[in-house]
Structure 1
């Protein structure tokens, strides 16, 4: 049960279906869910596990990823505040095992919903059903984009785009490891390091321990669209 007014207000602000649902559903929602806290780098779900709850994230981020036969990871998507996991919802509705891995990247505060409530509300509550359909639609688009990137774009173009997307126009700097980039792009750390070194030699970036600074955004943008 959730009784903290601050948590209730934040959930209503972040999750639109709670603003659209009728009062009885909202009361039942807060009466049957609970808040959990997870530390950073906490495994959340392993491939092949049955999903017992669906989490709605209030604070923090989680990464959903696959591991190939060669041990290489690829990030499918991330979940942040106001979001939930399409794969978990799908597994609950289909009663199939979780097909990937999930880990917290930052400390997480979330609300968890039991599988029985997820299914029951899907059959009886229009606002909740609309939320799940919208979640599936948005995340499916994200996953398709990942597949297209991996299958059809060269790694150097993808890496250039990744650097542009993950740094702001003010500092032009990001704290990141080569291994983390490799996981997100679905390639090896060695490939990432080699391309970053090439970018540095071309004057596009500068590399320090644990950080990358963009020195020429315009030419890096050209590199991403070659």
Structure 2
């Protein structure tokens, strides 16, 4: 279990707070633990405020009119997210959902506390807006990928990104999970993976993919 008084010191703007603000912040923080695949936040929930991920990973996504999930970005250990704080930064209008991809521990900073610190401390205010700007840049990149990038390029880029993150040639993911990451239908993912396998870029196994030709995948992206 996390020690809030120690973990909170890892929040980037902690060092820029005066003693009184640090005391206030400690009183406005809640420790929460979520199991894998647990729902964390949605648009119908009360404003969550800013969150800091101490351990685990969170997938941030939206749901389109057809009910399909579109992954926007991921929040990993040591990262903050303010997309769940639309009541604090009024410019945030995305109806995002947050889901724990694995057992995840977070610090949730109450929206009222973040607002108070943003009003009184320029460092907190700059941090919050820079964070929001970065996340919206992530969202724009995803939209550009969906609208303009060929699907084989998106798939190749995804496979290589997973390898870069894990260092493992074997990717343990179902086609359903991959579809959510590349923002497409499972059937489309299945067809593309079969094509990649036919081209000997990958090898398909039950619930897993083995990357065989890294250079071939890179050429698709180029």
Instruction: State if a TM-score over 0.5 links the two structures.
Output: yes
Corresponding residue number in structure 2 for 1:88: 84
TM-score by length of 2: 0.90
1:162 is aligned, of 146, 155, 158, to 158
Alignment pair present for 1:187 and 2:216: no
Displacement after TM superposition at 1:176 (Å):
0.9
- Contact 2:41–2:48 (Cα < 8 Å) also in 1: no
Structure 1 residue 113 displacement after superposition: 1.6
Q: State the match for 1:152 in structure 2.
A: 148
Compute the TM-score of the two structures, normalised by the length of structure 1: 0.89
Q: Which runs of 5+ in 2 are unaligned?
A: none
Structure 2 CA distance for partners of 1:97 and 1:157, relative to 1, 3 Å: closer
The unaligned stretches of length 5 or more in structure 1 are none
Could you give the per-residue CA deviations for residues 194-218 of structure 1, whole angstroms, max 9, x where no partner exists? 0000000111001111111110000
1:102-160 deviation per Cα after TM superposition (whole angstroms, max 9, x unaligned): 21111111111222112111111222212201211211111111011111001111000
Counterparts of 2:115 and 2:48, CA distance in 1:
12
Question: Does the C-alpha gap of structure 1 residues 49 and 34 become closer, same or farther in structure 2, counting only changes over 3 Å?
Answer: closer
Q: Relative to 1, partners in 2 of residues 1:47 and 1:7: Cα closer, same or farther, differing over 3 Å?
A: closer
Q: What is the SS of the residue equivalent to 2:27?
A: helix
1:98/1:118 CA distance change after superposition, 3 Å: farther
CA distance in 1, matches of 2:93, 2:215: 45
> Which residue number in structure 2 is paired with residue 77 of structure 1?
73
Note the aligned Cα RMSD (angstroms).
2.2
2:198 pairs with 190, 197, 201, which one?
201
SS of residue matched to 1:128 = helix
Who is 1:110 aligned against?
Answer: 106
Shift of 1:51: 1.2
Q: Evaluate the alpha carbon distance shift between residue 203 and residue 155 of structure 1 in structure 2; reply closer, same or farther with a 3 A threshold.
A: same
Residue 99 of structure 1 pairs with residue 95 of structure 2? yes
